[in-house]
Chain A
């Protein structure tokens, strides 16, 4: 597991208040992890702070799974 992947999972678990063991690469934020629209906003904000990046809101719309989030963030860091 890469450093980015580990930190993404930590952020997801912390923000959505879920067991890190439930989080897989293919986990969908909304359908599988139960992220509501406000939590999705908080996730983006948490990723931005964790990795000190600014994510484009429009592009972030396409990030539906944990794995995609890792790929997306790796482009910034």
Chain B
């Protein structure tokens, strides 16, 4: 049964547009799937390899701008940004990783946070290259209907799921977790920790960048404060994995369903909506106290808790 779960989920998700959802509902579903890609990417580096990044907006943004600049400067379809962002972000994360992966634990987290902010300020100020705060607008939309956007991001998500699962079950997965648990022990057991951390960072960055490039195509508009946002990209990526379940296969998907719907719901509450980050903060505290392994990771505990309540 367990072996077929991914296929069943994929089949159900593929059938989703057939039930005639409204355009708004489709928009939310697309966001959920896109965020699950970012979550899975973050999970590879933060969940399995234990390198907690507060700067995944850097990769998301570089991916988004790869597509945007292709369009704005070279008049090439921004869809080419999706494959090209893999190469661009790989190079970018290699360079960034070379600097930040020398640091450990909280120092690494702070360096990645700074990295994301540096990219935002850079994009704001390189007006000739990025258009600065004016952003980049994609004038012609590929499709009016959302269905094809959905299938494209679903394909990306399915590929990401398979990639992360295969990595986690291979030798690399053992190495990543060994590095997470104890870097010195891993190093003295013959694991080239610098190399494998860089690898985890590059793969994680590339997947995030692909999601960013998709975002440009789908939303049709990007600016530095949106795609390099600390609070709306970097922090949400962490929240998704923390809520869903760190180092689990399904955690990022579950987390992004909850986070996207929750964000929409809170934003729609009159008078409170602008404070949605406050609610996210409270939610994170609750999760860390009661479900430190996230909803998927602590599912057995969660079930027991609910049963107790009923009894």
* Co-assembled chains A and B: no
